[in-house]
């Protein structure tokens, strides 16, 4: 039991001893690099406190090779020299001017360098220290140059600066005459300050050395061995290329701060602008997205509305009583509403009157680019066919059963004729009564003459002279009867033709003079009470038209002229002739004339100014339709109190 207690106590003592000795062990494994400058590319401290540079990397390599923990201690040059001289495991890198002897251990030389003077472009060179006499010279404090001048003062004014960059700033502004600095530090300054130049040959040559205390010979030997190996294995060259290679030198801390601030400012501005642009673009995109959504909604609604209207439109087209077809330019059927599908069958159309060649009509519509309209008869029905060009590649064909419309038109024409006959009836009756009375009188005369002739024959009165006289009187009576019967026959024939319904238009060559003569016979009872002046061109060419319809037109014009001349010395002038290659017929009266309102409505159906006298308002409206069918031009000139001129222009057959 006592043995166990003794062993336990021994272990405690050993543990306590190890605990107190442990810091010394750690202290012996620590290597310190003393840095005294803040000059790239050798040694400088970043804004975050991180140490960088050639010297730092070399010290880290040495510590790694010797298995030391590296500690970096920033001091002044004097403190650095004192620490390295008096303490072990202390390292530093300094530039030793040529000819200077330091009482300190130095490892192999690291880098050669030199010290030169720098001034402004265009100024005199300074190749020696004597050339700087009396000049203001900027020198970095605690640098190798300052150390050299402490031992060997020169005859010029030293302007101490914290960094070489500050010295070159003073040089550029004219506050100093020269800057004296080490080569590696000055090369970058020349690119930053274009006004500066090298003032001449180097003033002083120096060498960078790794220095340490000689109090620990083993440590010194180990350091020299590591540095020597770095030369042999190429690591030292890699380190030089990384930090000190020409064109890759690090800028000084002041420039780093300045450039970093500028870059940070520019970056902040760009970031702010980018943020503003992003916000603006986001706003525009959001607005555009909203607009596009609304537009898509509107389009969707429009498409639905178009679809609905299209369905309704097709429903309307399908429900139309007319046949509707859409035909392409190559005469292929695009769409049909199903009414009268035989319209596209050429064998059926060949039986129509007149015969229809649908292919030719389609070709003509596309070629001439105007609509085609025609009427035809098929299977005892009247049809109306229309072709209308919709686009360069499509036309619409419409087929309508026009039988009812045609019959209504015929009934309307018949009504107009009957209305005209009603107005002519009184005059026609008078015209027939006159020859009938003459016939009656002539028959009585002939009967008396025959009785007298019979009496003479029975009494054997054979006077030749008297017999001849009786026979002459009988012959005159017969001629009167024959003439009166002829007049009645002509009147009846004209009435028969005038009242005959027109089943269809049959254009043929018509002489307008014959139309005038027939119309005058029908309206003789109206015309006989006025002064008639006929001016008919005997060489008048024929026109193409329907003679019966043109007779109706002229009868209406003559009747209206006669009704308008309720005044003393009425005058009716009817003239035919040629004007500008057109054939015309003109009816002029010196009646009451018409005002503007009457002229505007004269062609309207059922419009009349003689409603109380039995006028129907169908005469001139029917005449207008007939003249439209004949493609005639109807000109009306009228003045109240002076009279009216009705002029109709036709194209000749030629």
Q: Is the pLDDT of residue 576 over 70?
A: yes
Over residues 399-418, mean pLDDT: 71
Q: Which DSSP string do the residues of 578-625 spell out, in sequence order?
A: EETTEEEEEEEE-S----HHHHHHTTSTT--S-GGGT--S-HHHHHHH
pLDDT per residue as tens digits for the range 616-626: 666 777 788 88
3-state secondary structure of 184: helix
> In whole angstroms, what is the distance from residue 270 CA to residue 611 CA?
94
Confidence at residue 499, expressed as pLDDT on a 0 to 100 scale: 56
Residue 571 contacts residue 529 (beta carbons within 8 Å) = no
**Does residue 377 surpass a pLDDT of 70?**
yes
158: exposed, middle or buried (Cβ count in 10 Å: 0-12, 13-18, 19+): middle
* Structure confidence at residue 476 as a pLDDT band (50, 70, 90): low
Contact between 92 and 36 under an 8 Å Cβ cutoff? The reply is yes
d(CA 117, CA 204): 10
Residue 357 has pLDDT above 90, yes or no: no
Residue 205, pLDDT above cutoff 80: yes
Give the residue with greater pLDDT, 500 vs 100.
100
Tokens 């199903």 belong to: 338
DSSP H or E segment with residue 436: helix 403-458
DSSP secondary structure string, 220-261?
HHHHHHHHHHHHHTSHHHHHHHHHTSTT-PPPPHHHHHHHHH
Give the model's pLDDT for residue 3. Answer: 41
| 571 token code pair | 């005058």
Between 432 and 118, name the one with better pLDDT. 118
Helices within 29-100 (DSSP H only): 54-66, 77-86
Q: What is the pTM of this model?
A: 0.36
H/E element holding 133?
Answer: none
Q: What is the chain's mean pLDDT, rounded? A: 79
Q: How many residues does the chain have?
A: 654
pLDDT per residue as tens digits for the range 273-295? 988 998 889 889 988 888 888 98
DSSP 8-state class, residue 357: -
Residue 609's pLDDT is what?
A: 73
Name the E strands within 329-380: 333-336, 372-378
Question: Rounded mean pLDDT of 542-546?
Answer: 88
Alpha carbon distance 395, 393 (integer Å): 7
44 in helix, strand or coil?
strand
Q: Which residue reads 């389009």 in tokens? A: 299
**Range name among 18-22, 216-220, 277-281, 635-639 with the lowest pLDDT average:** 18-22
DSSP state for residue 652 in the 8-state scheme? B
Structure tokens, 27 = 């202290």
Task: Specify the range with the lowest mean pLDDT, choosing from 153-157, 234-238, 447-451.
Answer: 447-451
Between the CA atoms of 360, 362, 365 and 367, what dihedral angle is there, to the nearest 10 degrees?
A: -70
Indicate whether 252 pLDDT > 50: no
Query: Which of 135-144, 212-221, 443-452, 583-592 bottoms out in mean pLDDT, i.e. has the lowest?
Result: 443-452
Q: What pLDDT is stored for residue 156 in this prediction? A: 92
Asked whether 213 and 84 are in contact (CB, 8 A), the reply is yes
């Amino acid at each position: 039991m006592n043995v166990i207690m003794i062993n336990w106590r021994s272990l405690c003592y050993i543990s306590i001893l190890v605990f107190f000795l442990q810091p010394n062990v750690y202290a012996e494994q620590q290597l310190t690099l003393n840095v005294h400058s803040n000059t790239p590319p050798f040694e400088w401290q970043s804004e975050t406190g991180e140490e960088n540079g050639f010297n730092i990397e070399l010290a880290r390599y040495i510590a790694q090779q010797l298995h030391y923990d590296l500690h970096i201690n920033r001091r002044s040059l004097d403190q650095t020299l004192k620490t390295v001289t008096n303490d072990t495991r202390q390292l530093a890198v300094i530039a030793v001017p040529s000819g200077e002897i330091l009482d300190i251990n130095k490892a192999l030389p690291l880098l050669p360098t030199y010290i030169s003077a720098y001034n402004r472009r265009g100024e005199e060179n300074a190749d020696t220290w004597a050339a700087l006499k009396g000049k203001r010279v900027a020198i970095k404090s605690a640098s190798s140059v300052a150390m050299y001048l402490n031992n060997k003062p020169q005859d010029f004014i030293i302007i101490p600066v914290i960094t070489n960059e500050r010295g070159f700033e003073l040089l550029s502004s004219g506050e100093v005459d020269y800057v004296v600095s080490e080569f590696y530090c000055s090369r970058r300054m020349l690119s930053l300050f274009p006004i500066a130049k090298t003032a001449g040959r180097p003033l002083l040559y120096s060498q960078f050395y790794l220095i340490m205390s000689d109090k620990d010979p083993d440590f010194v030997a180990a350091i020299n061995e590591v540095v020597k190996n770095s030369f042999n294995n190429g690591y030292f060259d890699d380190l030089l290329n990384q930090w000190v290679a020409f064109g890759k030198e690090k800028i000084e801390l002041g420039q780093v701060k300045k450039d970093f601030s500028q870059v940070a400012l520019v970056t902040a501005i760009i970031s702010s602008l980018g943020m503003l642009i992003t916000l603006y673009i986001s706003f525009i995109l959001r607005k555009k997205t909203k607009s596009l959504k609304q537009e898509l909604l509107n389009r969707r609604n429009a498409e639905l509305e178009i679809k609905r209207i299209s369905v309704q439109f097709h429903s309307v087209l399908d429900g139309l009583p007319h046949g509707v077809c859409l035909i392409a330019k190559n005469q292929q059927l695009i769409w049909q509403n199903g009414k009268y599908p035989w319209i596209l069958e050429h064998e059926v159309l060949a039986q129509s009157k007149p015969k229809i060649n649908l292919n030719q009509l389609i070709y003509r519509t596309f070629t001439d680019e105007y609509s085609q309209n025609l009427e035809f008869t098929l299977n005892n029905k009247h049809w109306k066919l229309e072709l209308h060009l919709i686009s360069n590649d499509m036309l619409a064909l419409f087929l309508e059963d026009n039988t009812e419309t045609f019959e209504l038109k015929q009934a309307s024409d018949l009504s107009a004729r009957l209305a005209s006959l009603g107005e002519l009836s009184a005059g026609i009756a008078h015209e027939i009564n006159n020859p009938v009375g003459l016939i009656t009188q002539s028959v009585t005369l002939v009967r008396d003459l025959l009785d007298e002739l019979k009496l003479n024959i029975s009494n054997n009165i054979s006077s030749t002279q008297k017999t001849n006289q009786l026979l002459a009187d009988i012959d005159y009576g017969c001629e009167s009867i024959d003439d009166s019967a002829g007049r009645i026959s002509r009147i009846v024939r004209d009435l028969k033709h005038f009242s005959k319904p027109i089943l269809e238009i049959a254009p043929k060559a018509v002489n307008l003079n014959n139309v005038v003569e027939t119309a005058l016979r029908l309206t003789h009872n109206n015309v006989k009470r006025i002064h008639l002046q006929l001016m008919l061109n005997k060489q008048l060419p024929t026109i193409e038209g329907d003679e019966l319809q043109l007779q109706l037109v002229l009868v209406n014009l003559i009747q209206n002229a006669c009704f308008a001349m309720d005044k003393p010395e009425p005058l009716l002038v009817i003239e035919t002739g040629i004007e500008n290659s057109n054939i015309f017929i003109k009816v002029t009266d010196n009646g009451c004339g018409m005002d503007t309102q009457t002229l505007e409505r004269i062609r309207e159906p059922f419009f009349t100014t003689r409603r109380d006298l039995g006028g129907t308002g169908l005469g001139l409206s029917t005449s207008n339709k007939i003249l439209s069918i004949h493609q005639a031009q109807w000109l009306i000139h009228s003045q109240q109190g002076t009279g009216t001129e009705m002029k109709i222009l036709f194209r000749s057959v030629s």
